[in-house]
Amino acid sequence: MRVLMVGAGYVGLVSAACFADFGHQVVCIDSDAGKIEALRGGKIPIYEPGLGELVSTNLRAGRLSFETDLKEAIADADVVFMAVGTPSRRGDGHADLSHVYAAARQIAGALRGFTVIVTKSTVPVGTGDEVERIIRETNPDADFAVVSNPEFLREGAAISDFKRPDRIVIGLEDERARAVMAEVYRPLYLNAAPIMYTARRSAELIKYAANAYLAMKITFINEMADLCEALDADVQDVARGIGLDQRIGSKFLHAGPGYGGSCFPKDTMALAKAAQDAASPVRLVEATVAINDSRKRAMARKVTAACGGEVRGKTVAVLGLTFKPNTDDMREAPSLALIQALQDGGARVRAYDPEGMEGARALLDGVTFGNSPYEIAESADALVIVTEWDAFRALDLDRIGKSMKTPVLVDLRNIYKQGEVEKYGFTYTSVGRPRPKRAA
């Protein structure tokens, strides 16, 4: 199949590389000439494990190419994927669809013969209808079908998710598109990946509903963590106990400082706004958004309490800046609100992250960035684990504790056990777990 991917961002680049690895001929288009030139040289603008090797392999094999001229590339395409950004619109939280509609107009003017136009971007219900209207208005003679094919990629595991998906959702209104999409995903038949065909509007809503539900699971267990602390229970035991129920499942039941990233924050907000406009509000989702926003700054109060109730004039070392491990994505990361709140309280903040510091420098003022956990911990009054990178799971606690001014460890991801930390002289604080009973 001849595939055109419009947009060389996270979703577009991963999808283009994986489709090429399946054996399709893939052209990836982006208006950023500098990015395209870098990609032609094998330089990847984002951190995603395995992506650099996948792009380079398929560039050498001639199955993947990068261009800026959409009109020339679309002439031979069987299917055109739109994978452009849909960030939250400033001021009201709705999804900003300007890039989607601009891409639709560009595509419309270049169509030749029957072409399937696929929306890969996360978009509100009804966007496919508007894309179809724009294309017909721009090019009345065009022969095309508009399809919704939402992505379900986890940052840090995107290639595996693409090649071994839980499901493939395809929303269409024109049956001619079914055969085209079946051929696009034919390489996954051996993996027995279920393909779900549905109406286009249903496919659009499936993506938002899935993200909102997962965000609610995270928020639920975070509230249970607070309750566990109040009742002297252990949130990890609670999570395991309910997660063993097959109706619930164990995934996304890990207490922490709140969710962030490119999807959950903007998608829950966009779904809530769209539901309000439809006069059918989704109160659970609205509550999820509000609770998650307040939780991020609440983590600063936990750090302050661990520091004796005051951080003014103290040095706090923060381990982990990205919203999750194995990515360089800083969007809506809990570390941002936490650090701002600590600075508002008068703390001096040092920080280290294996991949996120370049992005963090553009978002954080007054933070001292270090080259390792050991560097930022030296002479610090407290060390805070915000992101559960593997590199933080086996720290030399003896070395760190001896180098700190005050050995206080605040573990917001529960990656350590109380006893193994305290034997090195630390005062240890975690999330949703009771302090051990001490002998009288």
Return all residues near 359 (Cβ < 8 A) that are at least 6 apart: 321, 322, 328, 329, 330
pLDDT confidence tier of residue 440, bands split at 50, 70 and 90:
very low
Q: What ranges do the domains of the chain cover?
A: 2-198, 213-440
- Per residue, the 3-state secondary structure of 344-401, as one string, reads HCCCEEEEECCCCHHHHHCCCCCEEECCCHHHHHCCCCEEEECCCCHHHCCCCHHHHH
Query: Is pLDDT above 80 for 315?
Result: yes
Catalytic residue list contains 228: no
pLDDT confidence tier of residue 436, bands split at 50, 70 and 90:
low
pLDDT for 124-174, tens place per residue? 999 999 999 999 999 999 999 999 999 999 999 999 999 999 999 999 999
Strand, coil or helix: 64? strand
Same fold, 2-198 and 213-440: yes
Q: How far is CA 378 from the centre of its chain?
A: 32
CATH topology of domain 2-198: Rossmann fold (3.40.50)
Predicted pLDDT at 274: 93
Q: Are 319 and 352 spatial neighbours (Cβ–Cβ below 8 Å)?
A: yes
pLDDT for 252-278, tens place per residue? 999 999 999 989 999 999 999 999 999
Q: Are 88 and 261 spatial neighbours (Cβ–Cβ below 8 Å)?
A: no
* Long-range pairs, 32-37, Cβ under 8 A, ≥24: 32/8, 33/68, 35/8, 36/8, 36/66, 36/67, 36/68
d(C-alpha 207, C-alpha 214), whole Å: 11
Query: Is pLDDT above 60 for 430?
Result: yes
- Across the chain, mean pLDDT equals 95
- Mean per-residue pLDDT for 364-392? 97
- Mean per-residue pLDDT for 354-369? 96
As a dihedral over the C-alpha atoms of residue 83, residue 270, residue 150, residue 196, rounded to 10 degrees, the angle is: -160
Task: State the catalytic residue, choosing from 18, 28, 228, 263.
Answer: 263
Lowest mean pLDDT among 294-303, 418-427, 430-439: 430-439
Predicted pLDDT at 439: 45
pLDDT for 91-121, tens place per residue? 788 999 999 999 999 999 999 899 999 999 9
pLDDT for 204-216, tens place per residue? 999 999 999 999 9
- Mean per-residue pLDDT for 402-414? 97
d(C-alpha 260, C-alpha 401), whole Å: 30
Q: Are 130 and 109 spatial neighbours (Cβ–Cβ below 8 Å)?
A: no
Instruction: Name which CATH class applies to 213-440.
Output: alpha beta
- Mean per-residue pLDDT for 175-183? 96
Distances (CA, A) of 210 to 24, 123, 134, 271: 29, 13, 28, 11
